[in-house]
Amino acid sequence: MSMIKEFKEFALRGNVLDIAIGFIIGGAFGKIVTSFVADIIMPPIGLLVGGIKFTDIKVNLKDAVLDSSGRIINEAVTLNIGNFIQAAFDFLIIALAIFLMIKAINKMSKKQEAEEAPLIVTKEEELLTEIRDLLKEK
């Protein structure tokens, strides 16, 4: 079998296409959550903590080097703590959304399994049912 034919069979399987679609939707969802955190959640929190913008929270490790005209020769070296805090909020919101989605899917699949499960009658139950039916007849 040629390599191209094998790859075509692999790529056109349902699972691979589902995964690809999941990645695309996940990327778009990630952008929405990032914007939600940066533009909706963090500004009020920053306002509550003293009117600061979280992305501006930095620890300066080394100052920028300027030439005589004031142009930057070497950029400053900083720890961008605010960006890290914002990314942590992004992660928490995405993790919560995925948890809730998986929880809902599991609940639906358990419900579906319960509906599809065949009713298994043991020998004891069968005998008890026969006895009950015989007693009703008398």
How many whole angstroms separate alpha carbon 133 and alpha carbon 128?
A: 9
CATH of residue 66 = 1.10.1200.120
pLDDT in tens, 60-111: 999 888 888 888 888 889 999 988 988 888 888 888 888 888 898 888 888 7
Q: Across the chain, what does the average pLDDT equal?
A: 85
Radius of gyration of the chain (CA): 30
User: Per-residue pLDDT averaged across 18-23, rounded?
Assistant: 82
| Beta-bridge mates of residue 78 | 60
Structure tokens at 71: 């142009």
pLDDT in tens, 116-125: 767 778 888 8
Domain extent at residue 17:
3-137
| Beta-bridge mates of residue 74 | 65
pLDDT in tens, 37-60: 888 888 888 888 888 888 888 999
pLDDT at position 108: 86
Residue 37 burial (10 A CB sphere; 0-12, 13-18, 19+):
buried
Structure tokens at 80: 């961008």
Question: Considering its fold, how many domains does the chain have in total?
Answer: 1
How many whole angstroms separate alpha carbon 7 and alpha carbon 64?
A: 51
